[in-house]
Every structure is written in C-alpha cells, then in structure tokens.
Structure 1
Amino acid sequence: MKTKQAYATLPHVSGFIDWLAAELDSKTLFNHQYVDRRSGNEWSCDSLFNAYESYSWSFPGNARLAYNTGSCSTSNAKALEALRQDLLAAGTDDTLVLQAATDVMAWGGVTARNVGWLKANKVGLGRMIQEVKIALIQKDPDAPVLRSKALRFNAGMTKIYSLICPDFLIYDSRVAAALGLLVVNYCKAKGLTQVPSALCFPWACAKENENVSAPKRRNPSTGTLQFTRLRSGAHHARWNMRANWVLSQVIAHQAAAQSPFQQIDAPANALRGLEQALFMMGYDLGHAGQVSNG
C-alpha cells in the first residue's frame, strides 16, 4: 500500500527499526522495574525477552470456549486462539459477533462501556467489524471506515482487531508507554533532542482513581523528548497500524533472526511475544527523568 510505504520512508522510521532489531536482546538497555500496585511486589526485567518471560495477565475462564482461567503467556495464548477462532467463525452474524466480541472484552478486562456499546450497535456490528478489518489488513489509514466519526477504536476494540488481522498487535496504554520508552532510548542513542514525528507514538493514562497516592506513569516524555496524547477513533487506528508496521519489521529484520523471540511456539508468535513484553514494561515507567505534565 502506498500509505504504508509513505510511512516507511519518513525520517527515522528505518533507523529506529534497524536500531531496535540490533538491540532487541540487549541486556543493558531495557532493565526496568516497578512495584505492582495490586500485589505490592516488585517486578523487574533485564531484557525485552525477560519481560516476555515474566508476562502475566489474569483472565476469567470461558466454559463456552472451553478454556480455564489463567495468567501466564501459555494460558493466555490458548485463550486468545479460542477467541480468535470464535471471532472468525462468527463472520458477519451480528448475534455471534456480539457474543464473540463480548468474550474478548471479558478476557481483556475492558467490559465497562465497551460491552454496552457493542450491544447498542448490534445491528450491523458484524459487517462493520469486517469493513474495519479489511481496511486494517490493507494498511490504509485513509480508508473511509477508518476516518469515520462513528469509528470506535480504543483499548477494547484493538484487542478484537489484533485477533482477526494478521500481524496486528494490541495497542493499549501499557504497550504505548513502553514503545515510547524504546523511542526515548533511540533518541538518546542518536543524540536527538526532539522525538521524530513518525516515532511519536501517543500515550494514554492508566485507568485509576485521580487521587491515587502512587499513580502509574504511562507518559514516556522526558525533557525535550515529548509525546502526544492518544485519542480514540481514527487517531488510535492510525498509530496502531504504525506500531504494527515498525515492530513487524523489527521481528523480520536480519539482525533479529537469532532472537529468542523467534522461538516462541504457536499459537503465539514473535510479534505477540514482543507486544506482551512491552505490555509488562509499560505498566509503570517509573519517575526517572523530567516528565511533562501535559
């Protein structure tokens, strides 16, 4: 697609891909730690793959789809595969798509508002999701369906499209935070004082009480390296596709051919593993450096 090629040729896109592919297994660049607010335990990793190895997402079981509750990468991979097959089998049948999509929201812990919207928009839901799917597969952010004001594209819907589109990652606030952190490392390595516009992956706040005593940091901005806020709809869809493109190219890069990410077994794959590594790192970026309040 012309749109994909246009993004690929923007300044620093190929440079970031080359850099990250070469540093993908670095044991020095991606040391990270934080305190899990629920358990009170400290989480840490010494590499991106180590972050993947420590992946944890607790999800409820689903008797209809025959998977049990779990939290590790293996159990999540099985649940996601069952959800993916269910979504694909639903086709454009609104009732089946509603049921499948609702189960995805339950897995992702994002039923609030999302399920209500899905139910309210049941009529035509199957066809709408298929139209968005086609535009995403064609990597065309300017497709009318992706520019429509009626488009719902948020942390919930990205989970649905990550299951029915090939090489499509979940772009939520945690993944966005960690991807921004990688860009900060790239900028520092290259002596850049501004975040290149093509790498300015937008961030979103964690869902938590405004008065929480220890808020989680999801804004990767530091000093003059500033990132913008993520907006739902077309903005989210466009940057989700850009993140897909960049990280897919990193995984496919010759410099990453021997990375342990390549050894991840089906039904998961290297891209899903990298997404899960970023998900874990992006829980809290910590408070080092000067962070913008914007």
Structure 2
Amino acid sequence: MAQDEILTCRELRKTFGDLVAVADVGFTIAAGETYGLLDPNGAGKTTTISMIAGILDRDGGEVLVCGRPHSPSSTWGKRRIGYVPQELALYPDLTARENLRFFARLHGLGRAEARRRADEVLAVVGLTDRAGDAVKELSGGMKRRLNIGAGLLHRPPLLILDEPTAGVDPQSRHAILESVAALAGEGAAILCTTHYMEEAERLCDRIGILDHGRIRAEGTRRELVGLVGELDRITLTVEGPRLVPSLLALPEVREATGHEGRVEVMVEDAGRALPRVLGAASDAGVTVRAVEVHEPNLESVFLHLTGKALRD
C-alpha cells in the first residue's frame, strides 16, 4: 500500500441470486483525493459503496481502510469512515445542534467534546445561524448539509458521500460542493457518487465508470477523454491574412480550418497548445479578437463506454 492510500479495494464481488451486482471492482483513494464513482442506475454503485462502508458483506475481494482490513464486523475501520447516505439520517424534531451532539456521542466523543465538535461542524457546513432550529424547519439543502456534517463529527480520514446534492437547490449545491472541496484540501479521502456530470468534473481528481458491475474505465478527466480520442477545440475570431497554414505547421495542432474570420483549431491539450497558437497568429500578422476553448466532457465518454446517459 502506498503511504498515503486511505482506501484500497481489490476484486470486490457481490451477487444476489443469479444477478452479478459487482464483479471484480478495485480502486484506491489517497489522502486529499476525491474519487468519483459514476454509473447508470442499477449498475453496481450503491452495492459497491455499501460493501466499502461495511454495511453489506461481500462475496469476495478485499477492502483496506488506512492499511487495515475492513469488513462489516470491523469496528476499527468504521470509526475511520464517515458515511453520508443519500437518504437523510436525521431526527426531524431535534434541532440541528442536538442532532450533531447526539451523533457525536454515538461516535464515542465525550459530552464536552461532542458539544464543541457539533459547533465546529455547524460552521463547516454553514449552519451556525440555524443551529437552534428543528430539522423539520430547515430547507432540503440545509438538511443535506447537516447530513454531511453528521458524517464529519469524528474526523474520519475517509468520507463516503452518496449523491450528496440530490434534490437540492443551486445555492445549497454550491455550498455543499465548496464544503467537499475544502475537506479534500484538508487531507480527507473522499469517495463520491453523483448523477450530475458537472459535479464529477468539478470535484473529482479521478473517476471510475461502472457498468454492469464492472469498472469500464478509470482516470482523470483528461485520461478518460483520451480513451475515446476526442480533441480540444480552440476557436479564434481573427482579422488579417490567412492563419491556417501557419497553424498546421505546429506539432500541437491536429486540424485547422478557417471561414469568415473564424478559425477552428483541434488540439490534444488546449492549455498547452494555446500559447503556441496565439504566437503563430502574432508571427503571421493576424489580430486575434476573441478566443474560445471547448474541452470534451465526461458525458461523451460516459455515453461511449456505457451507451447510456448518466441519468438513464
């Protein structure tokens, strides 16, 4: 195990009768890394995270948390996992603060520490001003944020988030994503499932795409896009002499076409190629009025690998 690996899964398998729900799934998550698990509905994602969290026993394979074997009977491992389910796990008649203090006590924190930690977590999820309100009085987005807070109370090195922004308003979604990014920045390893492709692109350092219980592909966004051979597109609005021949001479440029003051340039990595493209325009005496960069997204990769949209 690498020194900073918090979660290691190897060859996870689970069947329900004749149905193979998970087949030989494996991946790792390091400290400070956010790993996204994406799948079409019913393709094994929930079963996989349930086995990792120790909620569901597995038929085969291995789960290591902080280098030690983990299973449904492993108290040591569960103390190092913060599991935030898609369904709200809160008491509606208790206040936000009372809920957190209660769950902190369940995690073994002493009374004084539970009070202090509850207030710290309320600040993390942006609910300090609603601490005394009953959960039933909070908006859906606030409940989601409090649900995440309950998973943070014992400072787990591994946080599992199952659809953390499902059904919330845009403002709450932004607050949740900001909180998750901050937690990763503080060193937490995060396993996140989502049905929002833009969230995966924004949050996740690496992504695993599940289909029919197997990981079809894994990597960074750039690596996944590379699997289907899609290129970045740079669109230039220009004035001056022909630019296309100069661009085609650049090793970074795969294709270039021009028409009525617009030049379309296809490259593998727009971030690296753009300075050379603009330099070629300057050398050719071309004035660039506007630049647009379009990078291929995960949606096209997902469709290519699974034949389905993420929300199918």
The TM-score with structure 1 as length reference comes to 0.30
CA radius of gyration, larger in: 2
The TM-score with structure 2 as length reference comes to 0.29
Using CA pairs below 8 Å that are at least 6 residues apart, which structure has the higher relative contact order?
Answer: 1
**1 or 2, which has the higher strand percentage?**
2
